[in-house]
Amino acid sequence: MDEQTIIKTLTENGGTLWEKGTMRRVYFNPETVMKMDVNHYNSGNVSSASINGEGISNSEAGRALECKFWYDLSDGQFHDRGTDRLHRTSMTAIQDFYSDLKARI
């Protein structure tokens, strides 16, 4: 599949193209990757959260929201940062997201 088609597929699924110098990446926000629904207090703190309809702790939601997810167009791979502290529910949602998109590109 050519690069433009990959970019189109990824952006149609919630990604945002970012380019700087020779780097070309498509970034995804955590809510999109994990199908996460998050509610916040007026202070900005998490008041409730769920992944695929399954409730998760507020602290897990906070950790998940700090993660970074991207597809690197130069190596053709998905990458993430900050996921090493996430629990199984979050990791399963991430793996499902990657698997679904890999099947499309």
Cα 104 from Cα 61, distance rounded (Å): 28
Spatial separation of the C-alpha atoms in residues 97 and 31, rounded to whole Å: 11
pTM, entire model:
0.91
Q: 28 vs 11, 47, 65, CA distance in Å?
A: 9, 23, 11
pLDDT at 1: 85
Max Cα separation, the chain? 45
pLDDT category at 99 given cuts 50, 70, 90 is very high
For the cut 90, the answer to whether the pLDDT of residue 71 exceeds it is: yes
Cα(47)–Cα(22) distance, integer angstroms: 40
Q: Tokens 């193209």 correspond to what residue?
A: 17
Work out how many domains the chain is built from and give that number: 1
Q: 96: domain range?
A: 3-104
